[in-house]
Amino acid sequence: MTTILLTGLPRSGTTLLCALLNEMPNAIALAEPIAKLGRHPDRVIPTIDRFVAATRQSILQSGTAETKTMGGRITGNFMPEPGQRDGLRPSRATTTTVSFDKSLSVDFRLYIKHPAAFTAVLQELRRRYPVFAVVRNPLDVLASWQTVAIPVQRGSVPAGEKLDPELRRRLESRSDVLDRQVEILSWFLERYATLPRGNIVFHERLVRDPVSALRAIHPDPVAPQHSLYEQSSAKRYPDVDLGRLAKALLPIAEKIEPFYPDFVRSTLKPAIG
C-alpha cells in the first residue's frame, strides 16, 4: 500500500494539488480530513496510521471518504476569488463524506494533506511516510494572507503552535501581525529546507506544467481536465501594499533563496521600487 503525505505553505496551492491528484489514475487525495491530530507530536503518527487503515478500508469497500470540499465538490480553492465580496475572503471549506467513482487497485495511492500540522512534525513523519511540500513565491503567499479570513491573516497558525512549542514561543515574542506572518513563513521554509529537493512541489511549475510537476508524486500523471493560469499579485490583490510586504521579507531572504534563487534582486527590489 502507498500512502503519501502532503504539506505546504498556507495559500501555496495544496488544495489545488489535491484536486489535481484526484484526477490521476488509481489515486485518492484528501484535504485535511483528520479531525483531531492532538497536541502531542508522539501521538500524531499513531493517529495517522489508524486513519489511513480505516480510510483505505472505507474507500475500497464503499468508495467513500471524508475530505474538505466546497459545497460538496472537490475543488482547487476553498476561497472566493478576489473582488467577489468586500472585506476578507472566508474559507468555504466543509468536511464532507465524498463518493469516489473510480477504479482503484488494492494498493491505490492515498494522498493526505494537512499543511501546518504535518509541517510541525515533519521529521517524525518522514521516518514513516513519503512527504511532499508545496511552496510558492513568498511575496505572493504573503499578499494572499492579507486578504483571507483564516488564522494566518492574524499572524497565527494554531495547528503548528499546538504541536511545536518553539513556534509558539517565537510568535509570542512578536506583537506586530506582519512580523508574526514573516516568522510563520520562516518557520515553514526552515522545515522544508530539510526535505530532498525532489520532495518540493513548486506552485509555479504546478500551474505552468502540471504533468511534469506531478510526475515526482504520481507515477502516471495525466493532463488536468481544466486549464490552469497564474495571475500576478499586483493584479490579483490591487489593494495590497506589495512594497511593504517585500520590505518585511528582506530579513528572511536567506531562508527563501534556497527555493527561489536571486529572490531579492528579481522579486523584492522591484516590489520595493
The predicted pLDDT at position 64 comes to 96
Taking only the tens place, the pLDDT of each residue in 176-226 is 999 999 999 999 999 999 999 999 999 999 999 999 999 999 999 999 988
What's at 216, amino acid-wise?
Answer: A
Q: What are the cell numbers at 92? A: 468555504
Structural domains of the chain in order of their starting residue, each with its CATH number: 2-272 (3.40.50)
The predicted pLDDT at position 175 comes to 95
Q: What angle do CA 233, 235, 237 make, to 5 degrees?
A: 60
Burial of 232 per CB tally in 10 Å (0-12, 13-18, 19+): exposed
Q: What are the cell numbers at 39? A: 497536541
Phi, psi of 104 (to 5 degrees): -135, 140
Residue stretches of the chain with pLDDT short of 70? 1, 84-85
The predicted pLDDT at position 71 comes to 87
The predicted pLDDT at position 139 comes to 98
Q: How far apart are the first and last CA of the chain?
A: 52
The predicted pLDDT at position 84 comes to 62
What secondary structure letter does DSSP report for 257? T
Q: What are the cell numbers at 273? A: 521600487
